[in-house]
Amino acid sequence: MAAPIVQAGEGSWEFSAAISDDERRGDPPRRGPANIKEELAQLLAGLRRGGLGERAERRGGLGERAERNIDSFFVVADAFEANGLLMQAVDCLEDIAGVLRSLAAARAGRGEPHGLIETEDDILPYRDCHNIHVVDGNYLTGAQPTEAGYRWLRSKGVSTVINLRLPTDHDRRMVEELGMEHVHIAWPDEQPPSIEQVREMLAVVEAAPGRVFQHCLRGIGRDMTMSACYAIASHGQSPSAAIHAGCQHAPRWAADQQRDAATGQPSQFQLLHHWAGQLR
């Protein structure tokens, strides 16, 4: 007898850890996990129309593999919530909600420019690839992928990987064995890069034969800082606009960085203003 199909979120809809203020870790999110799950329930209902099953996408539904991969985001989000990490839970649920919106748009013939989500096969488990931010057709950022995540990124035209984390041979081996170039531009988390490192990133993107994927550990502080520098240099954004866009994608960015000892300002935000001044 075939095992019953998994439906994403099935064990999550009623979950609540009932976190009190003194148990919560970090600032409260603007939208709680339950609010985002309401949107996810609607997105999933729309995508499932036409039935479930291994080849459901041809009928407009969702296959079992996609359901399992989507469910991995619910599992991680509920674990975050159970530990009082409500902002992290929200980030995780917002991430998969964005993926499902992209899939719905692609099925309706309204695919996003330079988008990565074209079919349900582009929905990977949380651990393999998450928090992806497509800046433009040449440059995208995200959290640390697994080998499966890198294979998928390569299938999407990525030729070069920029690793912002502190030295690790494991990441380089994975990337190079898949035929992509690995570039290391590293500095400690929660701190700003140097201007020389920003210029190095821009040179790598300019010279790459395909798309460039850049990652730190979680796709938040270091990633958002570099992508904001890219937006300022390549798209003419102001530092304020780049900061606003980055905080929309990664709400924890503002709190996830050290303060400058002299000014008390977030050090990565300060770097963006300094970088913009260098370009004038």
pLDDT tens track of the chain, all 280 residues? 445 577 888 878 777 766 666 655 666 677 889 999 999 999 999 999 854 444 444 556 899 999 999 999 999 999 999 988 888 999 999 999 999 999 999 999 998 889 999 999 999 999 999 999 999 999 999 999 999 999 999 999 999 999 999 877 899 999 999 999 999 999 999 999 999 999 999 999 999 999 999 999 999 999 999 999 999 999 999 999 999 999 998 888 988 899 988 898 999 999 999 999 999 8
Task: Give residue for tokens 């390569």.
Answer: 154
Q: Which two tokens stand for residue 271?
A: 């770097």
pLDDT of residue 13: 78
Report the length, in residues, of the chain: 280
CA distance 277 to 280: 5
**Tell me, what's the pLDDT at 53?**
45
pLDDT at 51: 46
Q: What is the pTM of this model?
A: 0.90
Q: Rounded to the nearest 10 degrees, how much is the dihedral formed by the CA atoms of 198, 203, 206, 209?
A: -120
- List Cβ neighbours of 131 (8 Å cut-off, separation of 6 or more): 91, 95, 142, 143, 218, 219, 220, 250
What are the backbone dihedrals phi and psi of residue 160, each rounded to the nearest 5 degrees, phi first?
-140, 135
pLDDT of res. 24 = 59
Q: What is the Cα–Cα distance from 66 to 280, expressed in whole angstroms?
A: 47
| 276 and 196 Cβ atoms separated by less than 8 Å | no
Which of helix, strand or coil describes residue 193?
coil
Give the amino acid at 155. Answer: S
Taking alpha carbons only, the member of 73, 17, 16, 18 closest to residue 43 is: 73
Q: Which two tokens stand for residue 51?
A: 């039935």
Cβ-based burial of 161 (10 A; exposed 0-12, middle 13-18, buried ≥19): buried
Under 8 Å CB-to-CB from 205, ≥6 apart: which residues?
138, 139, 212, 230
DSSP structure class, residue 258: P
- C-alpha to C-alpha distance for 127 and 52, rounded to whole angstroms: 24
